[in-house]
A and B are shown apart, each in its own frame.
Chain A
Amino acid sequence: MRHILSLLLENEAGALSRVAGLFSARGYNIESLTVAPTEDPTLSRMTIVTSGSEEVIEQITKQLNKLIDVVKVFDLNEGNHIERELMLVKVRAEGKDREELKRTADIFRGRIIDVTDRTYTIELTGPRDKLDAFLDAIDRSQILETVRTGASGIGRGEWVLRV
């Protein structure tokens, strides 16, 4: 099953490679991994999207907790949560396609953030499925480039993950 793990880790050189190294050394899947400093500059927040059986996810959580730079690990699947990803797509937009692409972007609440005579660059945020659905909705041959950040996750309601 797909799991979203949220981590707080020391904002130190090498912390990222410890996490990434753990996943590759033990053969765990990484669908995506995002990381950036938090409001407390000594801490980074990481979201890892992974998949595996319950046993594997349990091991991943335990192994992450063993890393000295990891302050907290939480499996967002244990409660209600929100997941968002940012995608930038550059598409070929010529002639009658321009109108059609604009309409599709609107339906997905995307924004066109850059325009040339022949292209649009569209910005889209949402859960993974929504971004996938957008890519499915437009003609594949029009896609020139896609950039996705990978998911960031946060728990719903008043619950917070902090030190």
Chain B
Amino acid sequence: MRLTGAEITIQCLQEEGVEFVFGYPGGAVLYIYDALFNQDKVKHILVRHEQAALHAADAYARASGRTGVALVTSGPGVTNAVTGIATAYMDSIPMVIISGQVPTPAIGLDAFQEVDTVGITRPCVKHNFLVKHVDELASTIKKAFYVAASGPPGPVLVDIPKDVSQHIAEFVYPKSVSMRSYNPVTKGHSGQIKKAVQMLMEARRPMIYVGGGVILGNAAEQLTKLVRELGFPCTNTLMGLGAYPGTDPQFVGMLGMHGTYEANLAMQHCDVLLAVGARFDDRVIGNPQHFFSESRRIIHVDIDPSSISKRVRVDVPIVGNVADVLEEMQKLVNASSARPDATALKDWWKQIGEWRARDCLRYDRNSSLIKPQYVIEKLYEVTGGDAIVTSDVGQHQMWAAQYYKFDKPRRWLNSGGLGTMGFGLPAAMGAQMAFPEATVACVTGEASIQMCIQELSTCKQYHLPVKIINLNNRYLGMVRQWQQILHGNRYSESYMDALPDFVKLAESYGHVGVRIENPADVEPALREAFALKDRVVFMDFMTDQTENVFPMVKAGQGLTEMLLGAEDL
């Protein structure tokens, strides 16, 4: 079959079973858009800004486990997309980005809308390609999908010059790919796995620390089974929420900078630590030296060898697909009669119980102002704990992570690695596209939401009835919190003056807007909003401006050096 490069591109997407492409047209991709027009298998979602196309495709991938696809034009299309590419890269999200480029003869001549796309995106993609000839197009796209989804996943960009999309070639979609330079390890080392299980059985104060890798690796089920069998305490990172059920008694909460008292203390004082699909990053272990002031043995399972012993030295590294490694561990546990010392484990749980009794997430429930934590608690109740929740970045993100109890993986979508404000709304769109019947809520702040607010228009066009929970504190809240705690109350540029009337704004986009000013109205407003199944509802909650996120470990400090509340300031 002889096709143009543009037609080949779309055929490849069809071959890959791509349902949706999130994108925005422009000169360099006009042939590709033309090819899209002539078919109806791949559905294109027209966003209002390329950043949103990337976030939507990214969240589609996070929610569904399938590879997200975005399509942007050259030059400003690409530069607008970079934030979204970097967001996906930091969180290892499988994505393929197709970008237009100026025609090959014009490359390097500062042509209209030319940027060095491969160069600009190189540090924030798993890999990228510039397709120089139409003959290489199909095999390159095949490689892109393979690389994006295998090993540690990540975004892969394919840059297609305009003339390549116009030229004609014989279309053959390769059935398989083999790349001599890319053979990701999948099977964990059996000897190491055996050693790990033995170590777990010797533990007196065990702890299991679970990151986003368990969600990306579809290993939540295996993990939950193993943790329950062992009876050990388990913590999830911000990216791992939902990997181990949030309502399970063995769950001690999120850990790290805004982790619970019990999770952080158990992490510090355990004697055997099993880390799965997590990477000991600086928001979890702020101060590795402090972490090592107490000795413990560490087992680390991850698909990415470079995540192992990067910030924290470990004793038993296991590189492999987390689901398979956990299954192999489970088999060894089942086959063995050895079990950890029951009395020691009981004492450990007793200790954890005492830490839990501090009730570190308590807040003032009698306030006459709306407490943001209360809104999230009610959101949890009203949605039956079963919504897909996206968030932006700031205090609201941490409250959502702390107070919404995620029992299932792929229900909590946030930008953990890059911390990208503007992620929440487009992410909600992507999740809603993946699951049209699901309840999707975007927890945001009045600053973050304005970074991609134009997407309210996309929601209208595609009937994406997402619910927006705007925790409006009239501040760049997280910035204000750091300024209060670390910069002597000097609130430099963290107050958002001249905010729009979000109710009217939502209405002007054709949606429902509500402002909620009293605690008593929180629950009824949520119930009413979620009952409007086919509408976008923008809920503008006027919250307590002075509320801070606790517990808090200041950047660079040890896990146990926590501020637990205003009394610690």
A interface residue numbers (CB < 8 A to B): 9-10, 13-14, 17-18, 21, 25, 55, 58-59, 62-63, 65-66, 68-71, 163
A68 close to B179 (CB less than 8 A): yes
B306 close to A66 (CB less than 8 A): yes
B181 close to A69 (CB less than 8 A): yes
CB neighbours (8 Å) of B305 from chain A are 62, 65-66
A68 close to B181 (CB less than 8 A): yes
Tally of contacts, chain A with chain B, CB under 8 A: 36
Give the distance to chain A from B280, nearest Cβ to Cβ, in Å.
13
A14 to B123, CA, bound (A): 12
The interface size of chain B toward A, counting residues with CB under 8 Å, comes to 18
CB-CB nearest in chain B for A72: B181
B172-211 interface code vs A (CB 8 A; 1 in, 0 out): 0000000111100000000000000000000000000000
A70 to B306, CA, bound (A): 15
- Which B97-125 residues have a C-beta within 8 angstroms of A? 118-119, 122-123
Interface: B546 (CB within 8 A): no
CB neighbours (8 Å) of A13 from chain B are 130
CB neighbours (8 Å) of B310 from chain A are 59
B180 close to A14 (CB less than 8 A): no
Q: Identify which of A59, A65, A68 contacts B127 (C-beta below 8 A).
A: A68
A145 to B122, CA, bound (A): 36
CB neighbours (8 Å) of A70 from chain B are 181
A68 close to B306 (CB less than 8 A): no
Known: A17-B119, A17-B122, A68-B147. 9 other contacts (CB 8 A): A9-B181, A13-B130, A59-B306, A62-B305, A63-B306, A66-B304, A68-B181, A68-B182, A71-B180
CB-CB nearest in chain B for A63: B306
Q: Which 5 A-B pairs have the closest CB atoms?
A: A62-B306, A68-B127, A71-B181, A62-B305, A68-B182
CB-CB nearest in chain A for B181: A71
10 pairs, CB–CB < 8 Å, chain A vs chain B: A10-B181, A14-B122, A17-B122, A25-B123, A55-B309, A66-B306, A68-B126, A69-B181, A70-B181, A71-B180
A26 to B313, CA, bound (A): 19
CB neighbours (8 Å) of A17 from chain B are 119, 122
A19 to B313, CA, bound (A): 25
CB-CB nearest in chain A for B122: A21
- Which B307-338 residues have a C-beta within 8 angstroms of A? 309-310, 313
A118 to B118, CA, bound (A): 48
Give the distance to chain A from B145, nearest Cβ to Cβ, in Å.
14
A70 to B119, CA, bound (A): 17
Most buried by B among A18, A66, A70: A66
B433-464 interface code vs A (CB 8 A; 1 in, 0 out): 00000000000000000000000000000000
A63 to B307, CA, bound (A): 10
CB neighbours (8 Å) of B147 from chain A are 68
B181 close to A14 (CB less than 8 A): no
CB neighbours (8 Å) of A58 from chain B are 309
What is the predominant secondary structure among interface residues of chain A facing chain B?
helix
- Which B128-150 residues have a C-beta within 8 angstroms of A? 130, 147
A9 to B179, CA, bound (A): 12
CB-CB nearest in chain A for B118: A14
A163 to B127, CA, bound (A): 21
A71 to B182, CA, bound (A): 7
Q: Identify which of A55, A65, A163 contacts B180 (C-beta below 8 A).
A: A163
CB neighbours (8 Å) of A71 from chain B are 180-181
CB neighbours (8 Å) of A25 from chain B are 123
CB neighbours (8 Å) of B127 from chain A are 68
A71 to B183, CA, bound (A): 9
CB-CB nearest in chain A for B147: A68
A63 to B152, CA, bound (A): 13
A17 to B122, CA, bound (A): 9
A65 to B185, CA, bound (A): 12
A14 close to B130 (CB less than 8 A): yes
Most buried by B among A10, A18, A21, A68: A68
CB-CB nearest in chain A for B127: A68
A159 to B118, CA, bound (A): 36
CB-CB nearest in chain B for A15: B181
CB-CB nearest in chain A for B304: A66
A70 to B147, CA, bound (A): 14
A21 close to B123 (CB less than 8 A): yes
CB neighbours (8 Å) of B126 from chain A are 68
CB neighbours (8 Å) of B180 from chain A are 71, 163
Give the distance to chain B from A56, nearest Cβ to Cβ, in Å.
10
CB-CB nearest in chain B for A22: B123
CB neighbours (8 Å) of B306 from chain A are 59, 62-63, 65-66
CB neighbours (8 Å) of B181 from chain A are 9-10, 68-71
Give the distance to chain A from B313, nearest Cβ to Cβ, in Å.
8
CB neighbours (8 Å) of A66 from chain B are 304-306
A55 to B123, CA, bound (A): 22
- Which B381-426 residues have a C-beta within 8 angstroms of A? none
Give the distance to chain B from A131, nearest Cβ to Cβ, in Å.
33
A10 to B179, CA, bound (A): 10
A144 to B569, CA, bound (A): 64
CB neighbours (8 Å) of A65 from chain B are 305-306
Give the distance to chain B from A19, nearest Cβ to Cβ, in Å.
11
CB-CB nearest in chain A for B152: A66
CB-CB nearest in chain B for A66: B306
A58 to B317, CA, bound (A): 13
Give the distance to chain A from B451, nearest Cβ to Cβ, in Å.
25
CB neighbours (8 Å) of A14 from chain B are 118, 122, 130
Most buried by A among B126, B127, B304, B306: B306
A14 to B126, CA, bound (A): 14
CB neighbours (8 Å) of B179 from chain A are 68
Assess A18 versus B122: contact at CB under 8 Å? Given A58-B309, A71-B181.
yes
Give the distance to chain A from B254, nearest Cβ to Cβ, in Å.
27
CB neighbours (8 Å) of B123 from chain A are 21, 25
A21 to B180, CA, bound (A): 22
CB-CB nearest in chain B for A163: B180
Give the distance to chain A from B410, nearest Cβ to Cβ, in Å.
25
